[in-house]
Amino acid sequence: MLIIYNHMVVDYQHRNRTDEVFHALADATRRSIVERTLQRDYSVSELARLFPMSFAAVQKHVAVLERAELVTKRRQGREQCVRSNVVAIRRAQKQLERYEVLWRSRIERMNEILDEDS
Partner 1 sequence: MPVTSVKKDPMTLTMTIVAEFDATIARVWKLWEDPRQLERWWGPPTYPATVTAYDFTPGGRVSYFMTGPGGDQPRGWWRFVAVESPHRIEFENGLADESGAPQPDMPAMVVRVSLGEATPGRTRMAVESVFPSSEAMERFLHMGMEEGMCAAIGQVDALI
Helix (H), strand (E), coil (C) string for 59-98: HHHHHHHHHCCCEEEEEECCEEEEEECHHHHHHHHHHHHH
CB of 60 to partner 1, least distance (A): 21
Question: For residues 55-94, which are near partner 1 according to CB under 8 A?
Answer: 69-70, 88-93
For helices 16-25 and 55-67, angle between their N-to-C axes, nearest 10 degrees: 140
From 11, 40, 52, 78, residue interacting with partner 1 (rule: CB under 8 A) = 11
CB of 5 to partner 1, least distance (A): 11
Give the count of beta carbons closer than 10 Å to the beta carbon of residue 58. Answer: 23
Contacts to partner 1 by CB under 8 A: 1-4, 6-7, 9, 11, 14, 16-18, 21, 69-70, 88-93, 95-111, 113-114, 117-118
